[in-house]
Amino acid sequence: MTKKFEVSTGIAPEIGASQIELLEKCCNATAVSGDEHEVRQIVLDEVKVIADEVKVDALGNVLATKFGRGDDRVRVMLAAHMDEIGFMIVKKHDDNLFEFECVGGIDERQLPGKSVLVGRDHLPGVIGAKPIHLTTAKERKNKIEVSSLRIDLGPEIGEKVKPGDRATFATRFELLGPSIRAKALDDRLGVATLIELLKHAPDNIDLLAAFTVQEEVGLRGARVAAYAFDPDMAIAVDSTPAYDLPHWDEEDENVQYNTCLDAGPAIYVMDRATIADRRLVKLLTETGDQEGIPYQFRQPGGGGTDAGVIHKTRSGIPSTSVSIPSRYAHTAASIARLDDWANTLRLLYAALTRVTPELLAGERRD
C-alpha cells in the first residue's frame, strides 16, 4: 500500500489538522531515552517517502537528508530529539509492586498519584501514594522520595512486566482552546516541526534532519549525528520551559520567566551548553522582523539543547537553537500554544529560505 504524501517544495508549511494529528501520535507514543523505538517508527514512516536519503545510525538516530538544487547549497542540520523523560522498572517486589528509577530530569514531587503506561504493550499502571489518613503532619512536610514509590499494575501482572521495561506518564494529548496539553511536548513539538520542514524543504539548502536519541540523558545522539552529517551550520529545534507564572508575592515581579507563551519562537543567544553563533541569531531575528513573525529571546542562563554538542563536533559547527515555549516540561502534562508552534515553523522555514553561502563566509563575528 502506498502512503499518501505531499512534497511541497517552495510552499511554506502550516499547522493544520494533519500536523496536529501527527503531533498527537508523537506525544502519545512512548520513547524514554534509550528506547526511542515507537517515535523512531513514526518518524521513519513519515520521512521515508519524502527524504532523499534516510538512515538509522548506530545509536538509533534517524538521519534524513533532502537535497536542494543548484550549486552552492549550504548544508543545514536541524536536530530534534525523539526521546522523552520517563521511568525504568528496576525491581519487582513480593507484593507484586514495581520499584522504578527516573530517566532524565524529573522532579520527584511530580510522581505520586499518576497513571503510567509500562513497556512496549503500554500496560496501564499507577504510582500510588499513601492515603492522607495514614500520614502524619510531619510526614506531609517532607516530599515523597522516588525510592518509596511503586508502580502498581494489579495483582495478576505476573511476568508481563520485567526490570528494564520503560514507562511514561499515561497522559493523552488534548487540545484546550488555543493550547495543546500533552506529555512529552519536549520535544515531540520539535520532531513534528522537523517532519514538516522536510516536507517543505527549500531548494537553496541541503536539509539534514537529525531525529536524535538520548538528549535527556546527555545529548548523546546529537553528537554522532552531527559528526555523520558534517553540516555547515546547525539549529536545534527543541521545546523550552515557559516559567511565565506570577511570583507568589504579587509585589515581586517574575524576572526569571525563561520564555513566555504567546510570544512566539524562542531564539537562543546563550544557554549553559552553547554560546550561539551570532550570524545565525541575526538570520533568525531579521527573518522574523521582515516577515512579521513574532519571536522572543530565551533568557540566557541554564539549560541546554542538542546544539550543546553539535557546535563542538568535528572542527566546530556554527549553531544555535530555536524552541517552542511550553509550560510544565518534564511533568505529566505540559501546555504549549498552537500559535507559538505555528510561528516557530514559519520562522524556521523562512529563515532556511534565506540561507546563502555568504551567511557563513567570513569569520565568526559578534
Residues of this chain that bind another protein (CB under 8 A): 93, 95, 97, 107, 109-110, 112-115, 124-135, 140-144, 148, 150, 152-158, 160, 170-172, 174, 176-181, 241, 243, 245-249, 254, 256, 262, 327-328, 331-333, 335
Cell, residue 267: 531564539
Q: Are 219 and 273 in contact (CB under 8 A)?
A: yes
Cell, residue 7: 512534497
Pairwise CA distance, residues 16 & 45, whole Å: 19
Cα torsion angle, 220, 221, 222, 226, sign: positive
- CA nearest neighbour of 194 among 76, 74, 277: 76
SS3 annotation, 331-351: CCCEEEEHHHHHHHHHHHHHH
* Cα angle value 201/226/37 (rounded, 5°): 80
Task: Specify whether 358 is catalytic.
Answer: no
DSSP-H helix ranges across the chain: 17-28, 37-47, 185-199, 220-229, 278-291, 307-310, 338-353
Cell, residue 73: 547549497
Catalytic site residue from 46, 84, 196, 215: 215
**Type of residue numbered 246:** P
Nearer to another protein, 49 or 129 (CB): 129
Q: In angstroms, what is the minimal distance from the CB of 26 to another protein? A: 19
Nearer to another protein, 53 or 121 (CB): 121
**Type of residue numbered 112:** P
* Cα angle value 338/215/226 (rounded, 5°): 100
**Type of residue numbered 241:** P
SS3 content of the chain, % helix, strand, coil (to 5): 25, 25, 50
Q: Are 223 and 304 in contact (CB under 8 A)?
A: no
Q: Are 148 and 131 in contact (CB under 8 A)?
A: no
Nearer to another protein, 120 or 364 (CB): 120
So which residues are the catalytic ones? 215
